Structure formats: C-alpha cells, structure tokens
Structure 1
Amino acid sequence: MAPPVTRRPVGHHHGDLRNSLLRASLELVGERGPHGFTLAEASRRAGVSVAAPYKHFADRDALLAELATQGYREQRSRFAAAVEGIEGPVEQLASFAAAYVRFASEEPALFDVTFNAGLDKSRFTELATAGDKVARLLLPVARQLASDPDAAFDLLLRIAAAAHGLAVFLRQGLFGVGTAVLSDAEEKAARSARAIAQQAPPGAQLQDEEGPRS
C-alpha cells in the first residue's frame, strides 16, 4: 500500500515533489479508482500548488502511466520470486497464478491503475516495456509446455485471465471475508492454472527432455 503522505503548505517546493504526487495519486486511486480524481485533487492531497504536477507530468494520464509502470515492476518482482525454486513448469505457473491473486489483494490501488486506467501504451513506451518484461519472465516457462510461441503465449494468457478473474471476485467480496479468504483464492488460482497447463498441446514432453527453447 502507498505510504502516508505528509501534507505540506501549498506551494512549498520540497525535494520529493514527484514521489509525493505519485503517493497522493495512488491513495486517490485506492479511494476512488483511476478515473475518480483530478490532478488538482492530487496536488491538494500532496500539499502542493495545482500547477506543481506539470513540472513532471504532461497530464493525468502521464501520472497514471508512471503508477501503472510501478505496478508492472512490482508484479515482475513478485512473480519472479514466486517461480524461483519451483520445479516443473506446471507448478511454476500455478505459483505465478497464486502470486497474481495476492498482488491484487495486497496492492489494490496498483492493481486497479495497472489494469483499469485504460492507458494508451503506444504513447507511454516505458509502460509498454514494463508490461513486456512481465511477459518475458513467464513465457519461457510456458514454452516448456507449448513449443510453438503462439501456443505458449495463449497458454500464459489463459492462466493469467483465470487468475485475474479470481482476483476481481476476491476484491468484490464474492469469496466471503476472513483471514482464510486470500489463501483460499490463491489455491483456486493455482488449481485453475494446473488444469489449464496440463492441457498443453502434444510435444510438451519432448520439449521438457530437450530443455526450453529460446
């Protein structure tokens, strides 16, 4: 979650203006969603003048793109940790799916801004690159089950889609409340990933014997 923002007098040009605006905006995303606030409101939350954001961001979408980029970087870090040390591509993908659900639960504002802001990635190349890095982390795992690149991408997409749906249901409270709800949702995601991964096309065993292809 975003750390608390220390309010400062409007117009005070402190040395961490950019990060203060990002923290304030992430708080507002958590409260109202990525479309529920203006740059002026983010400025007031950060305790700076309404003109201050334009020193760093061309508009609100540019600020949201920076937050979404942070979201992808956080995902990549979590997913890398999730698959590290796990034996076998099926279990690696199951661990990824569980980590996906946990990310949505523990970082709801980052999850929302990453997937619900409707940003144009052709405009924000750093955002597109951050998203591609997540895919490049996981595609080699999927390639161990589906040697064709398109089939591997489709496999990864179906697993991510299942995890995303479960993450949304969890966020909406459809699985109930309580301390066990998150772990139960993680296990649902892992089971779904295993079921999808085990339907990999023929040739997977040969791929495993030869090792993953680049």
Structure 2
Amino acid sequence: MAKRGYHHGNLRQALIEAALELIEVKGPMGFTLSEAAKQAGVTPAAVYRHFEGREDLIAEGARQGYEIFADVMQFAYDTGQPSALAAFEATGRAYLAFARKYPGHYIAMFESGISVNRSPELAAIATRARGVLEQAATDLSQHIPPEKRPPAAMFSAHIWAMSHGVVELFARNSPGTQSPFPPEDLLESGIGVYLRGLGLIRPDE
C-alpha cells in the first residue's frame, strides 16, 4: 500500500482517504490513528484537530460512503425507468457495483459497527439511500390492490439483505467461498424468485 502523503491540501480529507485504504487492507479495527496519520504524511497529533478518535474518523468515511451509495442507487433507479421491474433490479446491481468499486467505504458503512444514528448527518444520508430502494419497491407493487399489497419497506429490506448476502459471500472474495455463477446472476435470479413468490411480477417476467 503506497503512502499517500499530505501536501498542504485538505488534511481532513487526506486522513479519511488514508483510513479508508487501511480499512480495506486491515479491516475497521485493524488500524490505529497513528497509522492513518502516517499514511496521510502527518503527525498523530494532527488527527485530533479534525477527529475525536478512530470511530469518529470511520464514521465520516461511512457518511461519505453513503453519499456515494445514495447517488449510485438513485442513478440506477432513474436509468432503469420507465419499467418498474428494471428500475428495481438496477438498484440491486448498483449495490454490487458499489461494494466492488468502494470497498473501504462499504466496510466502514456495513462492517465497522458504526451506528447510522451516530450523527444526524449520517442518519439522514443512510435514510436517503434506503429510500431509493423503497421507492423502487413502491413502484413495483402499484398494480396490486392496496389491501393485498406487501409493505414496500418490508420487501425492499429483504432485497437489501439479499444483496448484502451476495456481496459478503461471493462478490468480495470471501475465503473458501466461490460461486459457480456471477454475483449479478445470483442476485437477479434471487430477486426474480422472491418477487414472483410475492406475486409482484408474473411468472413469464
């Protein structure tokens, strides 16, 4: 891992990026603030000008990750229109794409133990990201009578959990696990089986 170095730019952001690189290599609990400072090319004392401690630093990495994640999900939803099913499936694929492209952010968001309620800013952006999938779920269920319609928050949460499981088991090279199918195919087929079971899409869709 190459030393990033800090050259009179944005020290706060340099520390966040250094931490994200360390998280990717060592995990959220596998690095120290001193290592993050060294990676950024500053003294350990400089970290405390911007962050109270390691959890505070990781939480900011998670918040920035949710910002990117929400934008990625929104773009996927928008480009999947006008088909509600295509938009819904696109958000699932976007989850996999985000985990691959931004592993440090992904780990900070979902594997660090940092609560999304740690700060109002983090809670707000996490809610926005979940809201995109819930909107896609709402669109998909409009053809079902309200009294028979499953709660969009429920089945969007199930799809989120399925996406997360595919990422953890097959998309991030977990030791000892290898799928005979591409993660995208696993997720798409799983979504199809689940949605047909709920009656949200027809058998031939």
TM class by smaller structure: 0.7 to 0.9
2:157 matched to which residue of 1? 157
One of 6, 13, 17 as aligned partner of 1:19: 13
Structure 2 counterpart of 1:116: 111
In the superposition, relative to structure 1, how do residues 137 and 54 fare at CA in structure 2: closer, same or farther (>3 Å)?
same
| 1:6 match: secondary structure | coil
What TM-score do you get using the length of structure 2 for normalisation? 0.83
Runs of 4 or more, structure 1, over 6 Å off, are none
Aligned residue runs from structure 1 range 32-71, under 5 A: 32-71=26-65
Percent identical across equivalent pairs? 29
Question: Which secondary structure state, in structure 2, belongs to the residue aligned with residue 23 of structure 1?
Answer: helix
The amino acid across from 1:158 in the alignment is H
1:175 aligns with 2:178: yes
Deviations 1:120-158 (A, max 9, x none): 333322111110011122212212317589811110011
Partner of 1:78: 72
Matches within 5 A, 1:88-167: 88-144=83-139, 145=141, 151-167=151-167
Q: Greater CA deviation, 40-49 or 146-155?
A: 146-155
The runs of 5 or more residues in structure 2 that have no matched partner are: none
121-130 or 49-58: bigger deviation: 121-130
CA distance in structure 2 between the partners assigned to 1:70 and 1:103 by the alignment: 13
Paired residues, number: 193
Aligned Cα root-mean-square deviation (Å): 2.7
Answering whether residue 190 of structure 2 is matched by residue 192 of structure 1, we say: yes
